[in-house]
């Protein structure tokens, strides 16, 4: 059955939803008969950046997609366990998928603005999809607010009617961040948001992450250990060994994970000895 969005009114421009704590409780995941995650539990505190690190194929991106119910879009996918947003399971039968995805936004590895749609309309695209109403003045203010928070307003304020596809890769990624912020999420998931960007654009996105975390919870997948050390407050190290499902080997404060890890495999990974 298709899930129909609730019709809601956008909060006042200076009113933001409180950042929410996110918690995975014994999450396992499968694609068909292939188990890719095994009983993963992780607390992701509100107003902090949690980095998911580990080599390719250990289930980090799958885990991220489970956190806002994107995993179930794949026909062969299944899962067990709970995902709690401020203590409430987003997979409860009575909870709408659209509501979960509105509160837990996603920014993907490859920037995906609507290329023929204007920058202005790109920012507002999520409102229509979620049935959110706003006045014309409210929309104008929202576009400026979200582009400012994404570190893009000064660069594009005089060309808001130009297509999103006209921007550089780094600008497109920040436009996607602005689009995600427009629906007032409480958590923002980021799947390797800088992997396709040049160093200057990467720095701008990292600055945006640092500015946003005071009002929103951020979970980021990254293969860049320097980036994880720069932007995150805590890290979770995922690993899948010899064909076994992905698990969290160790998690904790970023400073501890990089400075004094408790597991030798963590030390080897963060110091570049494998992965």
* Predicted pLDDT of residue 95: 84
Extents of the domains making up the chain: 18-114+185-270
- Token pair listed for 110: 């490859």
How do residues 141-166 score in pLDDT, each as one tens digit?
999 999 999 999 999 999 999 999 89
- The pLDDT of residue 4 is 39
The Cα 53–Cα 33 span in angstroms is 25
Distances (CA, A) of 98 to 64, 70, 91, 180: 17, 11, 12, 14
Q: How far apart are CA 6 and CA 106, in angstroms?
A: 19
CB atoms within 10 A of CB 8: 15
The span from the CA of 166 to the CA of 24, in Å, is 39
- pLDDT at position 14, please? 40
Sheet (strand 22-31) strand order: 34-44, 22-31, 77-85, 88-89
Q: What is the pTM of this model?
A: 0.90
Instruction: HSE, CB side, 13 Å, CA atoms: give it for residue 242.
Output: 0
How many C-alpha atoms does 199 have within 13 Å on its Cβ side? 1
What would the CATH number be for the domain defined by 18-114+185-270? 3.40.50.300
Report in angstroms the alpha-carbon separations of 137 from 143, 156, 178, 183: 10, 19, 18, 16
Structural tokens at position 252: 């904790």
**What are the pLDDT tens digits along the chain (275 aa)?**
334 344 444 554 344 457 899 999 999 999 999 999 999 999 999 999 999 999 999 999 999 999 999 998 888 999 999 999 999 999 998 888 888 888 999 999 999 999 899 999 999 998 877 778 888 888 899 999 999 999 999 999 999 999 998 999 999 999 999 999 998 899 999 999 999 899 999 999 999 999 999 989 999 999 999 999 999 999 999 999 888 999 999 999 999 999 999 999 999 999 988 86
| Residue 165, both tokens | 């596809």
């Amino acid at each position: 059955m298709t899930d129909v969005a609730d019709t809601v009114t956008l909060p006042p421009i200076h009113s933001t939803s409180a950042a929410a704590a996110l918690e995975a409780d014994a999450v396992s995941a499968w694609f068909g008969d292939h188990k890719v995650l095994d009983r993963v539990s992780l607390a992701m505190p509100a107003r902090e950046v949690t980095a998911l690190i580990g080599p390719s194929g250990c289930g980090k991106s799958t885990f991220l997609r489970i956190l806002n119910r994107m995993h179930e879009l794949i026909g062969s996918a299944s899962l067990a366990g709970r995902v709690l947003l401020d203590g409430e399971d987003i997979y409860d039968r009575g909870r709408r998928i659209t509501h979960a995805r509105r509160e837990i936004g996603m920014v993907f590895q490859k920037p995906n603005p609507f290329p023929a749609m204007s920058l202005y309309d790109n920012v507002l695209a999520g409102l229509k999809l979620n049935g959110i109403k706003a006045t014309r003045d409210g929309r104008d203010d929202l576009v400026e607010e979200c582009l400012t928070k994404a570190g893009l307003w000064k660069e594009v304020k005089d060309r808001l009617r130009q297509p999103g596809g006209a921007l550089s890769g780094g600008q497109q990624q920040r436009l996607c961040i602005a689009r995600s912020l427009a629906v007032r999420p409480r958590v923002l998931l980021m799947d390797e948001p800088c992997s396709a960007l040049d160093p200057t654009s990467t720095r701008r996105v990292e600055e945006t992450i640092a500015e946003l975390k005071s009002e929103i919870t951020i979970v980021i997948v990254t293969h860049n250990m320097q980036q994880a050390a720069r932007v995150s407050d805590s890290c979770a190290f995922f690993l899948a060994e010899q064909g076994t499902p992905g698990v969290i080997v160790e998690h904790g404060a970023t400073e501890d994970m990089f400075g004094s890890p408790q597991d030798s495999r963590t030390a080897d990974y963060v110091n570049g000895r494998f992965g």
